[in-house]
């Protein structure tokens, strides 16, 4: 069926797609990873490299504007769950049986970063099926793990393609991969490389030694900034459900219920919710290290309180004094909740720590929000 082929975009590239032939094929003949079609375009494949066990796709190290546009889009959460490449073995440059083997995830953003930084090095790139998730998160979930690595080594017959027995893994893959078990199962020695792909050339030059700096995970302002767009999109569910619930409540009055009243209130309510959203999702992450306390929810609470009090002093809050108090409570509570959720995006919070924080933070957030909503409804009816 030509039409369905075009739909998944792999119609005319059949001779160029990865040749491991172990990738699941769906009914229209498209390669898939876990039921979701891989990115329609395989522009990064520029040829193939013959080996004893067959040909493998050769990829370019050059990223073009479409790759950068794709990266920008996934940062905004657009079709992010589909930003995948087919798992398997790829060739960068013209690798031989002595060339290094690098390992990465099949999230295209990860794949792109690695191939870009392998420029000029003839090497193999083994892409694991992590369901389109980046190395670190996938390692946490176990999909970038010992089992998948061992399976992928066997599927590609890697032991017949290279004569050495070394694999270079991103250090953050260590959360999911046990080097000693990989060695036991396949004979391959895992070398943990740098955290960031950009350090690969330096790592190789330094005879495969990762310096302290290469091994350390940072979380500077640019790292945090990159995460904000996706958080804004991902948390829209909270924003919209809050807007819906509070708008519906805002119709209550002494005579029962008024739709007009809802329509009148909806813009002021949206303003309040947006203020909490901005405080917890943009301001708190950006200024994270500069806000006192280690507690994310408390950081968010403080930023929300400051923003709402500034709005209050600027006479930007709506309603009478009682309603304005409710609004301050609400903005602080919502900001606190969203900032608490940023723990998952951060690179240094422990599970035990987050649990400790939540035992106090969640009740406080619920009490503040409930208080705000009760005052708000009372104020409408009195």
- For 63-132, list the strands marked E by DSSP: 88-92, 101-105, 123-128
Residue 321: which H helix or E strand, with range?
helix 321-341
Q: Which is nearer to other proteins, 57 or 131 (CB)?
A: 131
Structure tokens at 270: 């949206």
- Minimum Å gap between C-beta 281 and other proteins is 12
CB atoms within 10 A of CB 170: 26
Tell me the C-alpha distance between 193 and 204, whole Å: 9
- Minimum Å gap between C-beta 109 and other proteins is 8
- Using CB under 8 A, list all residues that contact other proteins: 34, 74, 80-81, 83, 107, 109, 131-134, 136-137, 139-141, 171-172, 174-180, 192, 195, 210, 212, 215-220, 230, 234, 288-289, 294-297, 340-341, 343-358
Tell me the C-alpha distance between 369 and 333, whole Å: 6
Sign of the four-CA dihedral 97, 99, 100, 101: negative
Tell me the C-alpha distance between 329 and 72, whole Å: 35
Q: Which is nearer to other proteins, 250 or 295 (CB)?
A: 295
Structure tokens at 197: 């792909």
- Minimum Å gap between C-beta 341 and other proteins is 5
- Minimum Å gap between C-beta 134 and other proteins is 6
- Minimum Å gap between C-beta 26 and other proteins is 16
Q: Which is nearer to other proteins, 93 or 300 (CB)?
A: 300
Q: Which is nearer to other proteins, 99 or 110 (CB)?
A: 110
- Minimum Å gap between C-beta 77 and other proteins is 9
Residue 258: which H helix or E strand, with range?
none
Q: Which is nearer to other proteins, 11 or 353 (CB)?
A: 353
- Whether 39 and 10 have beta carbons less than 8 Å apart is answered as no
Judged by DSSP in three states, 266 sits in helix
Sign of the four-CA dihedral 337, 341, 343, 346: negative
Q: Which is nearer to other proteins, 264 or 356 (CB)?
A: 356
- Minimum Å gap between C-beta 81 and other proteins is 5
Structure tokens at 263: 């329509």
Q: Which is nearer to other proteins, 323 or 369 (CB)?
A: 369
Q: What is the DSSP string of 196-224?
A: SGGGHHHHHHTTS---HHHH-----HHHH
């Amino acid at each position: 069926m030509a039409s369905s082929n075009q739909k998944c975009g792999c119609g005319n590239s059949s001779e160029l797609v990865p040749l491991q032939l172990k990738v699941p094929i769906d009914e229209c003949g498209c390669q898939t990873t876990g039921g979701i079609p891989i990115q329609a375009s395989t522009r990064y494949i520029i040829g193939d490299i013959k080996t004893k066990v067959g040909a493998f796709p050769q990829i370019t190290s050059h990223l073009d504007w479409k790759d950068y546009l794709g990266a920008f889009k996934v940062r905004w959460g657009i079709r992010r769950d589909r930003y995948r490449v087919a798992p398997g073995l790829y060739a960068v440059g013209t690798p031989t049986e002595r060339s290094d083997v690098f390992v990465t995830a099949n999230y295209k953003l990860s794949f792109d970063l690695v191939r870009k930084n392998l420029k000029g090095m003839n090497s193999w790139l083994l892409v694991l099926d992590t369901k389109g998730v980046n190395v670190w998160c996938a390692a946490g979930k176990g999909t970038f793990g010992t089992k998948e690595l061992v399976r992928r080594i066997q599927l590609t017959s890697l032991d017949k393609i290279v004569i050495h027995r070394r694999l270079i893994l991103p250090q953050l893959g260590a959360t999911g991969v046990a080097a000693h078990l990989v060695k036991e199962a396949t004979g391959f020695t895992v070398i943990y490389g740098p955290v960031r792909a950009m350090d690969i050339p330096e790592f190789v030059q330094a005879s495969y030694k990762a310096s302290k700096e290469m091994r350390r995970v940072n979380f500077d302002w640019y790292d945090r900034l990159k995460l904000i767009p996706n958080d804004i999109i991902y948390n829209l569910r909270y924003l919209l459900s809050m807007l819906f619930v509070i708008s519906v409540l805002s119709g209550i009055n002494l005579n029962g219920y008024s739709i007009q009243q809802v329509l009148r209130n909806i813009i002021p309510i949206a303003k309040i919710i947006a203020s909490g959203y901005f405080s917890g999702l943009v301001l708190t992450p950006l200024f994270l290290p500069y806000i006192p306390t280690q507690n994310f929810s408390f950081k968010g609470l403080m930023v929300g309180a400051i923003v709402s009090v500034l709005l209050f002093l600027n006479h930007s809050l709506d309603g009478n004094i009682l309603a304005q108090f409710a609004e301050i409570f609400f903005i602080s509570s919502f900001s606190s909740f969203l900032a608490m959720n940023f723990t998952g995006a951060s690179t240094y919070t422990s599970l035990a720590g987050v649990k400790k924080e939540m035992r106090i933070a969640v009740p406080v957030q619920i009490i503040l929000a409930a208080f705000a909503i009760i005052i708000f409804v009372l104020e409408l009816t009195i």
